């Protein structure tokens, strides 16, 4: 049973969105990633405390979404302000 549990709740191989990046939600709103919560809680606790993306809607409301659902509903729009200001123009 542990093997099945670990494969379902082990989010360690899922790409984390970078803080400051902007994403478009399924209903058309724009969101900025503020942080990642519950990082490093251990596989045994991921069902209770899943790794979660903390993000802010363009109207200022703060929201959260489990990391395992993030890429299925959010579309990357652009990098963070710091990334955009690189002299080489890279993101």
Q: Where are the alpha helices (DSSP H) in the chain?
A: 2-9, 67-73, 81-84
Report the chain's mean pLDDT, rounded to a whole number: 81
Per-residue pLDDT, 56:
98
Average pLDDT over residues 9-19: 83
Give the single-character DSSP code of 62. E
Tell me the HSE value of 29 on the side-chain side, using a 13 A CA sphere. 13
Interatomic CA distance for residues 86 and 68, integer angstroms:
30
pTM equals 0.75
Architecture label for domain 2-82: Roll (2.30)
Q: Is the pLDDT of residue 54 over 60?
A: yes
Are 68 and 50 within 8 A, CB to CB?
Answer: yes
Residue 69: band (very low, low, confident or very high) from pLDDT cuts 50, 70, 90: very high
Which residues face 76 on adjacent strands? 23
pLDDT digits (tens, 9 = 90+) for 18-48: 999 999 999 999 999 999 999 887 777 777 8
């Amino acid at each position: 049973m542990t093997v099945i549990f670990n494969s379902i709740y082990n989010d360690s191989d899922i790409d984390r969105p970078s803080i400051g990046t902007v994403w478009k939600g399924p209903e058309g709103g724009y969101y900025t990633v503020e942080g990642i919560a519950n990082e490093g809680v251990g596989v045994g606790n991921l069902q209770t405390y899943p790794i979660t993306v903390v993000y802010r809607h363009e109207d200022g409301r703060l929201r959260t979404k489990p990391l395992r659902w993030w890429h299925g509903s959010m579309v990357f729009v652009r990098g963070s302000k710091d990334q955009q200001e690189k002299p080489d123009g890279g993101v």
